[in-house]
Amino acid sequence: MDCLSSSILQFPKKKSNFECSVHRYVCRRFQLEEDTSETDLYKLAVASIRKLKPGLTQKHVEELLAGSDCHQTTYAVQKKILIMMELERLMDVQISQEKVETIQTTKQCADIIYELCQQKERRDV
């Protein structure tokens, strides 16, 4: 386990520290700079796709982003969903479908996970 995963698992008392750790984790998993100011998960996923496919023309990147699977889910949305699933697994929490649909930023994702972890801690006490 890398140190960034460890920093998330330590579940800091301050929500802002947790938000920062989640943002850095998402950026690293998307192979972006950790200090990236963008927080929108979809835009981060798109930036990740563009970075991972540097040889593609703008047209091919747009086609890749516009394409969808049999569930009508685009590649960028798949990346966004997978990173949220990874964070759920890492923190051993389950985000409800209703909340998943509202998450747009790393901060919103971190806030929901933070709240779920606090609830889990209270149950375990």
The angle formed by the CA atoms of residues 12, 14 and 19, to the nearest 5 degrees, is 80
Long-range contact set of residues 24-28: C-beta below 8 Å, sequence gap at least 24: 25/87, 26/83, 26/87, 26/106, 26/109, 28/4
Question: If you ran DSSP here, which 8-state letter would residue 59 be given?
Answer: H
Whole-model pTM: value is: 0.81
Taking only the tens of pLDDT, the chain with its 125 residues reads 455 566 566 666 788 888 999 999 999 999 999 889 999 998 999 899 888 878 877 777 777 767 655 655 677 888 889 999 999 999 999 999 999 989 999 999 999 999 998 888 777 76
